[in-house]
């Protein structure tokens, strides 16, 4: 995929799947603006990309604050003259310390909605005017296979990820006349900090004492993934790069699974 001279904003780019996406976009020629709630994490990823002779800068961003999204979008436009790509990756499972809790709280619902769905929409709203004026744009939302199917996993997370898929479909229709593609990616099991905490929650809820967190994760792979193969953050990055490229110009309104065959449409 040739993304030379393209400019991309990635939310939640300071770790995990977001970091993998930033790396692959940069390797395909894109200038990557790494944003994250943790400014140090964002800066570390941008420095890593620059050390490989690719192009990246970083910004601290709380996606729940519309004024921050608007300010960063304007700064990026002022510096580069355009915003070609937006990757909405920032997300949470629930309120802090959720992995050690057995019962959901009001904060779990409220904060998860504010970050995963409303925050995603706020960042999207901040870049749309620039993309409309350019008559070009690629918006890629990171959802989850958890948004496809019901289950015992945290309802706030699954519900908001289902909302991300619906939001993707709605915005793809609304923005199509401006030559803006809007798609979603639904990852399955990826060993990240989020998966580490998910495995901890699963271990606590099942009363498991002997297995390590990594063992819990690998057992989930064996149990649920037909390909029996672990995914890497970069695997999500390759699909994001494809959807950000002109090879995908006729793909919009889609939610594409990358999960080793857990969920099939």
Q: Which residues are within 8 A (CB) of 119 and not within 5 positions of it... i.e. 6 or more apart? A: 63, 64, 90
CA triple 179-185-188, angle to 5 deg: 175
Answer yes or no: 157 catalytic.
Answer: yes
Cβ–Cβ under 8 Å, residues 83 and 73:
yes
Catalytic, out of 157, 167, 238, 263 = 157
Length of the chain: 265
Joined tokens for residue 216: 């819990």
d(CA 202, CA 154): 11
d(CA 197, CA 186): 19
d(CA 102, CA 110): 17
Buried residues in 58-89 as b, exposed as e (16+ CB within 10 A): bbbbbbbebebbbebbeebbeebebbbbbbbb
Joined tokens for residue 51: 């050390």
Cβ–Cβ under 8 Å, residues 54 and 47:
no
The residues annotated as belonging to the active site are 157
């Amino acid at each position: 995929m040739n993304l030379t001279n393209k400019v991309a904003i990635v939310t939640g780019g300071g770790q995990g799947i977001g970091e993998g996406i930033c790396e692959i976009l940069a390797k395909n020629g894109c200038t990557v603006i790494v944003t994250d709630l943790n400014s140090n994490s964002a800066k570390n990823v941008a420095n890593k990309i620059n050390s490989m002779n690719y192009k990246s800068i970083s910004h601290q961003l709380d996606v729940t604050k519309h004024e921050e999204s608007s300010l960063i979008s304007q700064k990026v436009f002022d510096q580069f003259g355009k915003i070609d790509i937006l990757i909405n990756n920032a997300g949470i499972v629930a309120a802090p310390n959720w992995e050690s809790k057995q019962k959901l709280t009001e904060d779990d619902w409220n904060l998860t909605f504010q970050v995963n769905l409303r925050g995603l929409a706020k960042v999207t709203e901040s870049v749309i005017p620039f993309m409309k004026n350019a008559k070009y744009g690629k918006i890629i939302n990171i959802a989850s296979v958890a948004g496809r199917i019901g289950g015992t996993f945290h309802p706030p997370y699954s519900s908001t990820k289902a909302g991300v898929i619906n939001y993707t479909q709605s915005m793809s229709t609304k923005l199509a006349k401006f030559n803006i593609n809007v798609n979603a990616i639904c990852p399955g099991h990826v060993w990240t900090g989020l998966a580490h905490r998910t495995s901890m929650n699963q271990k606590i809820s099942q009363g498991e004492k002997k297995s390590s967190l990594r063992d819990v994760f690998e057992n989930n792979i064996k149990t649920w993934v037909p390909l029996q193969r672990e995914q890497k953050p970069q695997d999500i990055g390759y699909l994001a790069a494809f959807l950000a490229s002109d090879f995908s110009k006729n793909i919009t309104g889609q939610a594409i699974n990358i999960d080793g065959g857990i969920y099939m449409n």
